[in-house]
Structure 1
Amino acid sequence: MTTGSATTAPKIDLLDAASFADGQPHEQFTWLRENDPVHRHAEPDGPGFWAVTRYEDVRSVGRDPATFSSTPSVQIPDVDDGGSLGDHQMMLMMDPPRHSKYRKLVSPFFVPRSARSLRDRTEALARRIVDDVIERGECDLVEDVAGKMPSYVIADLLGIPLEDGRELYRLTEAVHAAPETVPEGTQLEAGLRMFTYASELQARKRAEPGDDLASHLLAAEVDGHRLDEMDFNLFFMLLIDAGGDTTRQLVGGGVQTLFEHPDERRRLQENLDDRLPLAVEELLRWVSPVVYMRRTATRDTELRGQRIRAGDKVVIYYGAANRDERVFIDPQRFDITRSPNEHIAFGGGGPHFCLGSHLARVEIIALMREILVRMPDIEPAGTVTWLESNFISGPRHLPVRFQPGPVLGDS
């Protein structure tokens, strides 16, 4: 079949986890961009949704919260919480102006200046993470390396033990798994365990506040009111979740991408200092760790000739937009020196542009540098398995081997 053919369509199923078993379904995305860029997609247990796949449309929907709301959810399924959240919302599911007020509470910790100030700490963590595996000569790059960095950094920021950050991120993986791929009740149990941890942390930080993000949140006010227990718990869950996704999936997926493109890997390693920043941007475009975000139409509107009614679900696919032929020259080619590279792996701007994008880049560069310098001969040592999720894309396990090296410690 010719990809993008107007006459032969692939099977379009953006809900089935099997479509994402080897990464994102770019054959489907390519056909949709060309032939049906605002596609009406069936939903077995729901009303259906509009799948938006062109770059320009993804950006415009993401930048227009007045027409395309983040409430009630940014994921495709509607979840009935039985009223347990009351009028509480996770910040990710708020719209301005409320969203802006909550975002302002944490933004000082994630602005470029703050991210740069964490560079030394991040580089030390990268060295420690590689130290833990370097003498073995083999490891699971996702579990043993890529997954540790963002978990450690967000744990540091929140003022909790580093290993607690690792365990909490494992719980978010269960929450994001396609429901049919995990035992019944797994996702509910994972969410409850995170809530329990957040409640216990809240009690500790109220009794003994520190110089950390958790204590800062508990002392902050919105419209003259302190965050209550549910507000804090939802904020905590968002920080643990969003604080890990991009770095973990990008580093794991990025190393796998370099395995698949040996010539580009060689170019990168020949001049790592100069080429790594641009290479990271190309890896962000190529991997696109966050697959989609859902919005809900607040009023009747039209998008590329399709009539969208108030209440319709509108789902914007970042991985599809980042391969749009109308924006990127030869988008199906991986090029570590691509410039310009206006990818939207962190969202296409607007109020929900990824708050942690600057910190994620610092983490990714530190860890990729440590891997490529200290494991220059790294190679696959088994089968890569991908997350069973249509929301987050990246390897779950990536067995690798390399020449063992010395532990560097704090030197």
Structure 2
Amino acid sequence: MDTSLFTNANFQLINVVVLLAGLASFTWLLLSIPLRVYRRASSRFAIANLFLIFAMLFSNWQKPDEAGSLWLLADIGVLFALVYYKLAICQLFHRSIHPRLVTGVVAIAGIALVASLFGASNHTFLNALICLLAAVITLFTARIKYISLHLEFSAWMARVLAIPDLLLAGILYVLVSGLLFAADNTSVAPLQPAGSNTVAWLYIAFCLLLNCSGIAATITRLVLRMKHLADRDQLTGLPNRKVAFRQLESQWQEYKITNKTFSVFILDLDAFKRINTMYGHEQGDVAITFVGDLLNRAVRVCDFAARLGGQEFLIVLPGNELRNARHVASKLCALFAKSRWRAHTPPLTVSIGCAEARQADSLEQLITLAEKALRKAKLQGRNQVVCASVAEEETYSLVSSSSY
């Protein structure tokens, strides 16, 4: 065996990897514990770096004239680093985590380690198997990240953000190829950083990519979270006024292109000022939250519900003519009339103004028609649905208004 391969430069590069992984692990722990930034995901990123440190230390302790058991442990450390990296990505993007993944990896690693300890003659094959498994896990992680990001960004942006994971898998496949197709049969294989300056540099790139990808995923998730909060009403969790009018504009443009009509409701909670006066503003917030929850459960997946502000809400029903919309609105009124928002108090009632896209020449006119219909419903006694029409038969009264 050529012991000249084991130079001080190689060990210094390994120490650089240990230092980088140590700093990264400390940073992730800071994010997890004091700063509480995605605590579970940050903790898993920290654990991934700790496994990488162990892998480098085992590789550093391996002597060239001994069997490669410590190198196998180093490879297993890299494998578990990538397993915890995948678990962190799944946690960040709310993807399901299969417990069998960890169980299977532990089983394979245990079998490989036992085979090594009990005299397996071909350590190179075991190392290649562990490394190949790590590459496959990394590819699955890249796929999870791409699918999650594609839901929020364009396809090309999702691909760009998944590139670090693909590079990680590429490094591992290069190492597998070096192991399986090495010209000699020495135990100094390209997978071991101590055996090659090139591979030591690959491990430095591996450490940097692992953490850069984790940081990019965390920042992306934070941006998406802030965007979500900026677009949501804090009390009900429904989209806010800005998003509501953006959705209306999009729906109107689709209607102008495809001539597929849609209807709009403006829903107002009756006697809201009286609720605040009698029960206090805190209970008024409870009433608004109740309305938001009920609307969120009542509308279809294809429909859109938002809070415009105060006690007013907007509902958009794609593909619904005014007659169908009135039927849906009347069912909503009935649902509110029989739902209890607070013990020992009368139920909430709502008034709804409806309008259909075909009744208007512009989006502004459509909204005005719905608002006028809502005012008419209020003037006629509340707890009723009024559609944008002067005909009396377009008024559908459910029950007499409840008084507080």
Per the normalisation by structure 2, the TM-score is 0.21
Question: Whose helix fraction is larger, Structure 1's or Structure 2's?
Answer: 2
Could you say which structure has the larger radius of gyration? 2
